Chains A and B, each alone.
Chain A
Amino acid sequence: MPKQNAKTGEEKPAQLLEYSKAASLAARYGISIPRAEYVRSKEDAERFASEKKIALKVISDKALHKSKSGVIEIGLDRSSAGKAYLSLNAKALKARLSPFKILAQEMAEPGTEIIIGANTDAQFGKLILLGLGGIYVEVFKDVSVRTCPINDYDAESMLRELKARSIIAPDKRSEKAVISLLRKVSEMVVANEWIRELDLNPVIMHKKGYSAVDVRIMV
């Protein structure tokens, strides 16, 4: 439930839940998120990049749109991660994003970006949204919405309703992955009423399934 001021009835402004908390909550509902941890030094970043390619992101309340503010570096390996860490750190200081942390996350397989979101309606409670991700969601407004909880029929029809359905889920396997993910998100927001808004943006649909590379929860 949105927290309300008992006297004025006004809603308090929403707060961003700290990333690691959001990610571990999502993981508890079986939502697949790439391995990630906060890194505190150049060496830390290099160590984390020793197995797979990674991304580094500045996490700050003041940097809600990471790709827009340029405080993200992607496709880093052991040789480039350290340098990228230092430059991100400098950028974030210069942009006055303090306090901030730098999150290292394994890169997901390449694939199609989709968005799954949830928010809270005053009348009907939790709503869930599905759309093609990236810049397209805003341009084409090709999204489908349902009230939670949703069942398999609802999830299927959300997908069927989209013009981009064959891009999002070109085959049975990816269709199943989207449907199952939608149901997990619905279950999660219904069980945790204090979640006002949730954004999995983007979720990358790829050969091995999907990866929710960013989780934002507003409380």
Chain B
Amino acid sequence: MDYRKIDLLFKPKSVAIIGASENPDKVGHVIMQNYIDVGFSGMIYPINRDAERVLGRKAYKNVKDVGAKVDLAVIAIPAEGAIRALEDCGKAGVRSAIVVASGFAEIGRDDLQKSLVKVSEKYGMPILGPNCLGVMDMRSRVDTMFLPTFKLDKPKIGGVAFVSQSGAVGSTVLDMISHEGFGLSKFISYGNAAVIDEVDLLEYLMHDDDTKIVLFYMEGVKRGREFIDTVKRFTQTKPIIIAKGGITQEGSKAAQSHTASLAGSATAYEAVFRQFGLVHARDIDDLLSFGKIFETEGLSPGKRVAIITNGGGTGVLATDALYSNGLVQADLSEDSAKALRKVMPSIVNVRMPLDMGGDADDKRFAAAMDIITKDKNADMIMVIALFQTPGADSRVAATLIHYKSNTDKPMVVVSPGGNYAQVHNQMMESSGLPVYESPSAAARAMKALLDYSNYIRDTCGIYGKGQKRQK
């Protein structure tokens, strides 16, 4: 499959919705409504055997009656009818299709899935699915998902592509992402991968300039060796953060009946992830937490982390978190120590973690950041900002945002707490500063970034040119 053909799914100029309906209970209705709601600027052709008009637009009995070029057909009718509809699409010269219907290989109907593949081959028509939610492209305003817009918060535009074999995981993560300050480039739910599979999608995203990092939930790959060839090149230019379902034997069985993925041992997947620089997320929490640091931070030159905090106890926990994740505390330079002694109140003990005291205000944060962002002995920075303290307010958040935009060092903020803290966390995250609820979540994410950074440093001579990541 030529990955360039996949572009049609994301940037169609005309869409036929097969199964579009006036009945709000029908999937075809929700999909069409979504196209209208998100402001899709191309042509929309509802296809419905029985209706004259759907949602105010002229409906056609068959896609063959449209009589104009159709870039994409979204097939929103049950499996049995879907094959006939695809055949009609092929005859009508439709250039690509997304089959959202389930009822194929995942329930043992391999015959239907085979027919679908045949139609795709016969007409050279790329097909996504079946048994999927389809795609969402934040820039071209394409949204084939059959989830009503009011039920799901949609993320802002950004550089993260999120790919999910499972539609359910896909939509929940999508909903969660919008609260994590992520910017999304594309969302893809690809289901059974009958024609377009994970290798094709990765090839496409590797060449997609809108995508800077990929979050991937998968249950299995279809073509192991090709997958390796692709990710080997991919990870040299953009990180892939991957969570795999079905790593236990029982989970693997569940996955097989779910999206009809071939097994392959968990050991083998882990070996592949490790060997070719994929960032392995143990679960969805990891996926989101790692995604956040990879979206905004560049590579880390090393494992030395400077911690500054306005709470002593949290500083201790943070130190533990660093060491239990294979990171170490930065040993500040003599110059930094001297400078800090000058600007910190005498009660502050100048050493790591730098505990500035509960009364630290934005000025004290600024003074510390000024010195630490310039210290060559610190590879990364973890700022613990407890907004419960008397000194911390919005000015602290603004200060951290300011220093973040003036340093190349990877930097994260740890800010646990309730509403008051959350408001500030959102401020910081939407300004591109990753915020974590706990020191251990922050340390895990920093370790993931470090592992990837080391991988790139060690392998850039072997697998690729080791292009510098764009921030």
Contacts and interface: CB of A to CB of B under 8 A. Distances in A.
Interface string B205-235: 0000000000000001100110010000000
Contacts of B148: none
Interface string B225-249: 1001000000000000000000000
Given A121-B264, A123-B264, A147-B275, 8 more contacts: A121-B265, A121-B268, A123-B224, A124-B228, A124-B264, A127-B271, A145-B268, A147-B228
A123 B246 CA distance: 14
A78 interface: no
Given A145-B270, A146-B271, A147-B271, A124 B462 contact: no
A140 to B, nearest CB: 16
Interface string A108-127: 00000000000001111101
Contacts of B221: 123
Nearest to B268: A121
Task: Give chain A's interface secondary structure class.
Answer: mixed
Contact of A123 (B262, B459, B462): B262
A146 B262 contact: no
B262 A153 contact: no
B406 interface: no
Contact of A147 (B220, B262, B268, B459): B268
Interface of B: 220-221, 224-225, 228, 262-265, 267-272, 274-275, 458-459, 462
A73 interface: no
Contacts of A125: 224-225
Nearest to A121: B268
Task: Give chain B's interface secondary structure class.
Answer: helix
A124 B225 contact: yes
B272 A147 contact: yes
Given A146-B275, A147-B228, A154-B275, A124 B459 contact: no
Contact of B224 (A124, A150, A154, A161): A124
10 contacts: A122-B263, A122-B264, A123-B220, A123-B268, A145-B268, A146-B271, A147-B272, A147-B275, A154-B275, A157-B458
A41 interface: no
A38 B137 CA distance: 69
A151 B275 CA distance: 10
Contacts of A161: 274
B251 to A, nearest CB: 16
Contacts of A146: 271, 274-275
Contacts of A124: 224-225, 228, 264, 268-269, 271-272
Interface string A130-165: 000000000000000111001101100100010000
Contacts of B228: 124, 147
The winner among B228, B274, B462 for most chain A CB atoms within 10 A is B274
Nearest to A122: B264
Given A121-B224, A123-B262, A125-B224, A145 B271 contact: yes
A55 B458 CA distance: 43
Given A122-B262, A147-B272, A127 B267 contact: yes
Contacts of A147: 228, 268, 271-272, 275
The winner among B268, B274, B458 for most chain A CB atoms within 10 A is B268
B458 A153 contact: yes
Given A124-B272, A154-B275, A145 B262 contact: no
A208 to B, nearest CB: 31
B462 A151 contact: yes
A55 B267 CA distance: 35
A128 to B, nearest CB: 9
A154 B267 CA distance: 16
Contacts of A154: 275
Sorted nearest first, the 5 A-B pairs with minimum C-beta distance are A123-B264, A123-B224, A121-B268, A124-B224, A145-B271
A126 B167 CA distance: 32
